Amino acid sequence: MRCPLSFLFLTASLLTAGEAPRVWVCPTIATANQLAQPWPAGVRASLHGIKLYIGTLTRSSDAELAALAARVRDDRLPVTVEVGGLLNQDWGDQIGERSAEIEAKGLRRWLAAGGRVDALDLDGPERRAMGLGFKPEEAAKRDPAKAITDPTVIGREIDDYLTAIRTFLPEVRFNLLVNFPNWGWKGGPAFTGNPKKPQNFGEYHTMLTAVLDVVQRDGPRFAALTIDSPHGYTAGSKPSRNPAAKGIDWVARLADLAATAREHRLTVGLILNCEEGGKTSDQAF
């Protein structure tokens, strides 16, 4: 049987031997009604939470949000919303405040519909401030000359974002999400790099530690680092096309990143999307 939702991913947070990973589901409005349908034996008991995207909360109708909120309440599961954090480098030293103002609209709509927000995953705010990783049509709307590349400045803008969101979500948990294969690490290449840009987005150890030195100094702070590292990349079943990446132990690199995060008193979650299995069958997934 195929997975009935948009996709499903596993998170592992400092798991001990024999402990099962936590399973979250990510419904869209189109698939949300399937949350109430029968699940395969044992799956429902394994669910740890629901993850929604800020775009879902922004683009859906009030009626759609109310229906989704009702189903989430019935499941009594925590809700994480994935947001961008820093949306457009063109806004300069107002990027934190303006981004929070925009994304707050979707969050407030969800709350008004009866939804809950337990945590926010800030998806790559550093690379967004740098103007990286956007689709061509989105990149064309941004001025490359205004890219924010100083990690300390990025940290201050993230601080502004978190502070603004905390004014109406006082108990929310903030997580920093990184699509790790797009970054280099301690001088090493990125999985998605190429001969011209071996580290693709850049050196993540430098970026992460500098950002956390700012954000973790005073509240609000990040509670966790969420590492997005697809299973095929992590396990090596989908080889890197970056010649410089040959022979890299990707699992060891993930462990080193997790250790760095823990040094800054963050818990660690690992997203293991499985594109290969997901396109084949639920069993392969």
d(CA 166, CA 52): 19
pLDDT at position 6 is: 39
pLDDT at position 277 is: 63
- The helix/strand count (H/E) of the chain reads as 11, 8
pLDDT in tens, the chain (285 residues): 334 343 444 444 445 555 666 677 887 777 766 666 666 667 667 778 889 999 999 998 998 899 888 888 877 889 999 999 999 999 999 999 999 999 999 999 999 999 999 999 999 999 999 999 999 999 999 999 999 999 999 999 999 999 999 999 999 999 999 999 999 999 999 999 999 999 999 999 999 999 999 999 988 999 999 999 988 888 877 888 899 998 899 999 999 999 999 999 999 998 887 766 666 766 666
pLDDT at position 14 is: 46
pLDDT at position 31 is: 75
d(CA 12, CA 20): 8
d(CA 109, CA 25): 21
pLDDT at position 35 is: 67
pLDDT at position 82 is: 96
